[in-house]
Amino acid sequence: MAGVRKAKKADPMEAAVEYFSARSHNAWRKRLLQTDPKQKGKPRMRLRGGVMVDVNQPWSNLNPKAKADNKRAARDAYAAVKKFPNDREAASAYVHECWIKRNKDDASQPKALFKPYARLPKVEKDKDRAHVDAMTTAMAAVRKAAAKSERRKVRKTPKAKVKAAQARKKP
């Protein structure tokens, strides 16, 4: 049939990135507005993809360059969890190193954050840890969804497929 393509098997990394990105951005924004309610409705300008954009927006309204940056952060978190699956602190340090590389040209970022993870205050380390924890959750959710999908496929017996095909052929 024209226009019908076989569905590609979802890339686990991209599925985890999608799961992580919107959730982590909206969680960050919720914390921002809880800790500083005066930020509601105020632009929070950040350099993203060479352009200053307002990141104080819900994911659904976020500038595409800011979304792309969040997805880069998600891919970095994915790489950190894959590289250090049993070491949260090492994964968090890796996430922070990646953050520094992504943000080195953003003058709006506090200079105090551009130092090694080990020298960060606890509150800043917790942000990197939150990325690791959120990605670990995202990866587990993707694995669970894939396993559930696979179980559904297995449950469809050949007999059921034949009956379904016969039912479609009947006028």
Does residue 163 sit within a domain? no
pLDDT at 126: 96
**Inside any domain, residue 122:** yes
The reply to whether 48 falls in a domain is yes
| Residues 40 and 167 sit within 8 Å (Cβ to Cβ) | no
Residue 170 token pair: 């009947």
Overall domain count for the chain: 1
Predicted confidence (pLDDT) per residue in 140-149, tens digit: 999 998 888 7
Would 168 be classed as within a structural domain? no
pTM, 2 dp: 0.76
pLDDT of residue 152 exceeding 80, the answer is no
Domain CATH for 66: 1.10.490
At 54, list the tokens: 């307002």
Q: Mean pLDDT, to the nearest integer, of 43-72?
A: 94
Assign residue 58 a region: left if phi > 0, alpha if psi is -120 to 50, beta otherwise?
beta
d(CA 146, CA 168): 28
Predicted confidence (pLDDT) per residue in 101-113, tens digit: 999 988 889 999 9
Q: What is the pLDDT of residues 9-22, one digit of tens each?
A: 568 899 999 999 99
Domain that holds residue 20: 12-150
1 belongs to a structural domain: no
**115: in domain:** yes
